[in-house]
Amino acid sequence: MLCLTAPMGSFLLASVTGCRRKADVVSEAASAVPLVTDKSEGLLLSWIDDKGEFHTEQYAADVPSTNRDMVSVRVLEPSNESLGEGRFFLADLRTPGVGGAYPVRVATRSEFEDLAVARRAKNGTAVLAPRAAGASTGGGPDASAAGDPSNPGDVASRPPVILYGASWCGACHQAAAYLKKKGIRFVEHDIEQDSSAAREMQAKLTKVGKSSGSIPVLDVRGRILIGFDARSIEDALGVGR
C-alpha cells in the first residue's frame, strides 16, 4: 500500500509500507514532488493559454479554470529547492485530491513545450524555436554581464534592462529581438532554468505591488514592466522611437 506522509515545507514525500524491496522504497522516497494546493506558497506556476502563450502565477487558485490541465511547478523556497533538483514537474489543477492537494507528476520539459506548440499551431501563430542554452543575449559584448552588485563602482557597467522570461515564450523572444535591434544592452534570465532568477523576479514584482501573470517581466532601470511593449520600454529608458 502506498501512503502519503504529512507535508514537509511545500513538499509531499511518498513513503511505502508493507513488503516492498528496499530499492523501491529508496527510489520512491527520493522522488519528492511539490505539494500544490490553492494555498501553497513559494511556488512559480506556469500555464499556457489557448493561444499558446505562457503566463505565471504564484498561487494555484489564480490559474484560469480553462487552462489548469497542465501547469508546470517550480519551487522558489531555497530550503526546499534541492528536493526538486534536476526534475521537471507538471500539475493537474482541475480536481484536488485528499486534503486539497492537486496531482503532481515528474515529466519532461518538452512535454510542456509541445502543448504550447500545438496550441500556437492551432491558432495559426508562429512558433519560435527555443534558444540554445548559453546563447548570447546580444546588445554588444557586455550585454550578458550584469555587473557585480556588491561593487558600487560597477553600477554604471550594468545593462539598463533585465529580462525575465523562458526559452519557449514567444513574447520573450520578441522582447530580446527588439532590444538587440535597438542596441540596448540587457541581461536575460530564464526563470524556468534559474530558480534564483525566478525569486528575484517575484521579489521585484512584490516590491512594486504587482502580481505575476505574464512573461516577460522587464526591469528597465528599476521600472518593472510586465509583457513586451516597445513604447513602455522606451519611455522607461527615456529614448524615442
Which residue ranges make up each domain of the chain?
A: 2-122, 152-237
Instruction: Yes or no: say if 163 and 218 are a contact pair by the CB < 8 Å rule.
Output: yes
What does the alpha-carbon distance between residue 224 and residue 94 come to, in Å, rounded to a whole number?
32
Residue 132: phi and psi, rounded to 5, are -70, 150
**Mode of pairing for the β-strands spanning 186-190 and 161-165:** parallel
pTM for this predicted structure: 0.58
What does the alpha-carbon distance between residue 88 and residue 107 come to, in Å, rounded to a whole number?
6
What does the alpha-carbon distance between residue 8 and residue 32 come to, in Å, rounded to a whole number?
10
- The β-bridge partners of 224 are 219
Tens digit of pLDDT at every position of the chain (241 positions): 334 333 333 433 333 333 444 344 334 433 578 899 999 988 888 888 888 888 888 889 999 999 999 999 988 765 555 555 567 899 999 999 989 999 999 988 888 888 888 888 887 765 544 443 333 344 433 333 344 444 444 445 578 999 998 877 888 888 999 999 999 999 999 888 787 888 889 889 888 888 766 788 999 999 999 989 999 999 998 875 5
Which CATH architecture best describes the domain 152-237? 3-Layer(aba) Sandwich (3.40)
Q: What DSSP designation does 151 have?
A: -
